[in-house]
Structure 1
Amino acid sequence: MQISAVRDAIATAAAAVVLPAGIGKLRCTGYVPDSVVAPCFFVGEVEVSFDKAMARRLDELVFTCRVLAGRQDDRASQRIVDALLSGSGPASLKQAIEKARGAPGEMALGGLADDLHLQRVQGYRWFEHAGSTYIGAELIIKVIGDGST
């Protein structure tokens, strides 16, 4: 699997969420941005486990992604994050990202991986990013695929 392509595909999948009226669009990127325009989703750190199956047939990537919302109104910002972290609904990142798994028998992320799974949310808290503070959370996404490509 090519890490850069997988990052970008995760961000593209996340961009499909629809936020509540009046909030605007979720800005999504496959990389940690220099500055954040909230609300924002980005793919951060990656852990790579090679050779999970013989002959380079399976590698595992675990991405730590973040979603950040502004802090102009603490309650409203937390509601945005809550909507994004919900398991279903138009603003659900889990639903949008896992839609990129494809239909049964299809490759995930447009052919880049065998499968992916948004495993959990962690660290719902205030984040410092480029000198500003945001409310947000981390999302842990596991991607598996052919290690020889």
Structure 2
Amino acid sequence: MQISAVRDAIADAARAIVLPAGIGKLTSLGYTPDAVVTPVFFVGEVEITYDRAMGRGLDELQFTCRVLAGRADDRSTQRVLDAMLSGSGQASLKAAIEAARGAPGEMALGGLADDLHLERVQGYRWYEHAGATYLGAELAIKVIGDGRT
């Protein structure tokens, strides 16, 4: 699997969410940005496990992504973040990202991987990014695919 292409495909999938009225669109990036405009989703760190199958047949990528909802210390920012972390609905990152799995028997992420799964949300808290503090959370996404490509 080509890591940069997988990162960009995850960001493209996340971009499909529809946030509540008045919030604007989600900025979605396949890399960790220097500065952010909220709400923002970005693909951060990656852990790679090679050779899950013989002959370089399967590698596993574990991405830690972040979503930062805003800087305001109020209920509205938490509600936006909660909507993005919900398991379903038009603002659900899980639903949008896992829609990129494709239909049964199809490759995920437009042919870049065998499968992906948003496994969990962790670290619902305040994050410092480029000197500012934002309410956000981390999303753990597992991607599996051919190690020979």
TM-score interval, smaller chain: over 0.9
- Distance in 2 (CA, whole Å) between partners of 1:18 and 1:99 is 14
| In structure 2, C-alpha distance between the alignment counterparts of 1:125 and 1:10, rounded to whole Å | 23
Give matches, 1:45-124, under 5 Å: 45-124=45-124
How large is the Cα RMSD of the aligned pairs?
0.6
TM-score normalized by structure 1?
Answer: 0.99
List per-residue Cα deviations over 1:1-48 (Å, max 9, x = no partner). 000000000000000000000000000000001101000000000000
In the TM superposition, what is the alpha-carbon distance from 1:70 to its structure 2 partner? 1.2
In 2, Cα distance between the equivalents of 1:107 and 1:7?
16
Unaligned runs of 5+ in 1: none
1:133 matched residue in structure 2: 133
How far did 1:74 drift?
2.1
Amino acid at match of 1:95: A
TM-score (norm 2): 0.99
- The sequence identity of aligned pairs, in percent, is 79
Deviations 1:121-146 (A, max 9, x none): 00000000000000000000000000
Q: Secondary structure at the match of 1:21?
A: coil
Is 1:22 paired with 2:30? no
Distance 1:15 1:44 in 2: 16
- Count, aligned residues: 149
